[in-house]
Structure 1
Amino acid sequence: MKRIISLTFILVSSLFLAQNTKYTDAEIKKKLDSIKAEGNLLFSLENSSWHSTDLARENKKINGNFGGYLTYKNNDTVKTVILHKDRNLVIAEYSFTNNSKKPIKENLYQRNLNSNENNLKNIRSKVIAQLSDPKYEVGVPNGFNLNIITIPFEESYKNYVITGSSEANVIPFGNDYLFITDKEGNIISNKKFHSRLIPTMTSMPEGGIVTMSTHSHLKTNPFISATDICTFKLYAPFTKLEEFSVYSPSLDGYMIYNYKKDSLIKSKDFK
């Protein structure tokens, strides 16, 4: 029988300290509910992107003309459209509901981009062009990649940047960002959730299995992030992990997320 190993990764996610901010229990619960909802939205979009691009790569005709993708929510459906390499046509469209792994609908006919898709394409292109500015400190660690999730937000757009990994035994927490842009795609505010990549191993070289994962946030970023939840939900099904926690000295406790229960709670101790 394989040796079961429980590891706790206590890692620092910010470089600066701040004064304690006091929250009531009701304020904490409201904040955690909001973060969980945002994390689930990010996951639903990235889940569609993952499975759609896999399907597109498996289709020789589509793969030969693959020029990127766009993912967005349309009522209760999440759609990913595959762009022609010239980026002026949609060459495949996949529709998902309830975070399923298989699309409920596939459309492999070429068509023009609609107005929403054109907007998303232009926003993403403009954001990507701005990310090379050193002031944003966006980096790509060796062996990893960056994925952008764009969400309409009032009259603006939220552009989350999360780190991805092709390795099955790593959950790539950290190295994640949020860029708010105006409707033309100009960055008007930005946030870095963690100071660096936190590559959490889920198995050990000698065959041991990781059953618990924790990282720590400092006082400048006291709450679990929506990107934490999204990343965990993407990678946890390939592991033995069902939950992870973030320790917050500012809140004097752990925030524990369980992806099978979709529960997010604050606890004095990790249980």
Structure 2
Amino acid sequence: MKHIFSLSFILISTLFLAQITKFTDAEIIKKLDSIKTEGNLLFSLESSSWQSTDLAQENKKIKANFGGYLTYKINDTVKTVILNKKNNLVIAEYSFKNASKKPIKENLSQRNLTLNENNLKNIRSKLILQLSDSKYEVTAPNGYSLNIITIPFEENYKNYLITGASESNIIPFGNDYLFITDKEGNIISNKKFHSRLIPAMTSMPEGGTVTMSTHSHLKTNPFISATDICTFKLYAPFTKLEEFSVYSPALGSYMIYNYKKDSLLIKSKDIK
């Protein structure tokens, strides 16, 4: 019988502990809890962006003047504002709670950007200019796109880049980045979570159904990433998949996330 341990009751064997030279069991639990929280935040922001831009494209007047969007969180509400082509006015605003698929409020009145919205717009614009530098190795494979999710981080900002796919039978894991910028949008540090794009197929050419997806991380990136969780939560509802796993050679274990339960479990590879 396979034993799976929840984050609240992880029991790590002596062998397992020996493999983890940098982390105690308490540190692993804390780290995974933090990653899941961050993944859910990224999902709530990106889901709002998806729903809002779809609604904007359905409105002929807004679509004709669509120039971009900004998404941010205020208290327990996530807002996406649609900008005009000059990027100097808000032409639509959609508010969401609890990652709902429908906005709790719509405002289609034109208005000026708030100070916070102007800051986000300027940070995003400054970041995009810097990403053209080849030293960051930011690319989007043919048929895929990159989406930016910006969130406040202490006195700075976290800017996640996740890959988007238009095909309905693919979950685009990988090709994801994190850029920490200052208040002006200057890059302070950067990280790439995966070495490449890892497109997980959700259906077979012969018509079969995929029920589980797994990929591995490098030893230098031992944990499941918040971008893994966000990406899966975005695409899994369109598939038969409920969970995916990440194998960590550094930890000698699998980390398993179930989006319907919002549960993150860890299983040692050596336990049968």
The reply to whether TM is greater than 0.5 is yes
Q: 1-side partners of 2:216 and 2:261: how far apart?
A: 22
Q: 2-side partners of 1:77 and 1:41: how far apart?
A: 11
Q: Name the amino acid aligned to 1:213.
A: S
SS in 1 for 2:240: coil
1:230-254 Cα distance to aligned partner (Å, 9 max, x none):
0000000000100000001111110
Q: Name the amino acid aligned to 2:142.
A: N
1:14-49 Cα distance to aligned partner (Å, 9 max, x none):
xxxxx9644222111110000000000000000000
Matching residue of 1:86? 86
SS in 2 for 1:210: coil
Q: Name the amino acid aligned to 1:37.
A: T
1:200-250 Cα distance to aligned partner (Å, 9 max, x none):
000011100000000001210000000000000000000010000000111
User: Is 2:122 the counterpart of 1:117?
Assistant: no
Q: 1-side partners of 2:159 and 2:27: how far apart?
A: 26
User: Number of aligned pairs?
Assistant: 253
Q: Name the amino acid aligned to 2:187.
A: I
- Aligned in 2, Cα 1:133/1:20: closer, same or farther, shift over 3 Å? farther
Task: State the TM-score, normalizing by the size of structure 2.
Answer: 0.91
Shift of 1:55: 0.1
Gaps of 5+ in 2: 1-18
Matching residue of 2:138? 138
SS in 2 for 1:66: coil
Matching residue of 1:98? 98
> Any residues of structure 2 matched to 1:11-90 within 5 Å, and which?
21-90=21-90
Q: 2-side partners of 1:34 and 1:20: how far apart?
A: 19
User: Is 2:185 the counterpart of 1:164?
Assistant: no
Matching residue of 1:252? 252
Q: 2-side partners of 1:234 and 1:167: how far apart?
A: 13
Percent identity of equivalent pairs: 84
Q: 1-side partners of 2:159 and 2:94: how far apart?
A: 22
Q: 1-side partners of 2:259 and 2:191: how far apart?
A: 25
Alpha-carbon contact 1:254-1:267 (below 8 Å) kept: yes
User: Is 2:187 the counterpart of 1:187?
Assistant: yes
Structure 1 runs of 4+ with >6 Å offset: none
SS in 1 for 2:112: coil
Alpha-carbon contact 1:20-1:219 (below 8 Å) kept: no
Q: Name the amino acid aligned to 1:181.
A: T
Q: Name the amino acid aligned to 1:260.
A: K
1:157-203 Cα distance to aligned partner (Å, 9 max, x none):
00000000111110000000000001110001000000100000000
Q: CA RMSD in A?
A: 1.3
Alpha-carbon contact 1:66-1:84 (below 8 Å) kept: yes
Task: State the TM-score, normalizing by the size of structure 1.
Answer: 0.91
Alpha-carbon contact 1:217-1:247 (below 8 Å) kept: yes
Q: 2-side partners of 1:22 and 1:67: how far apart?
A: 46
Alpha-carbon contact 1:82-1:91 (below 8 Å) kept: yes
Q: Name the amino acid aligned to 1:233.
A: K
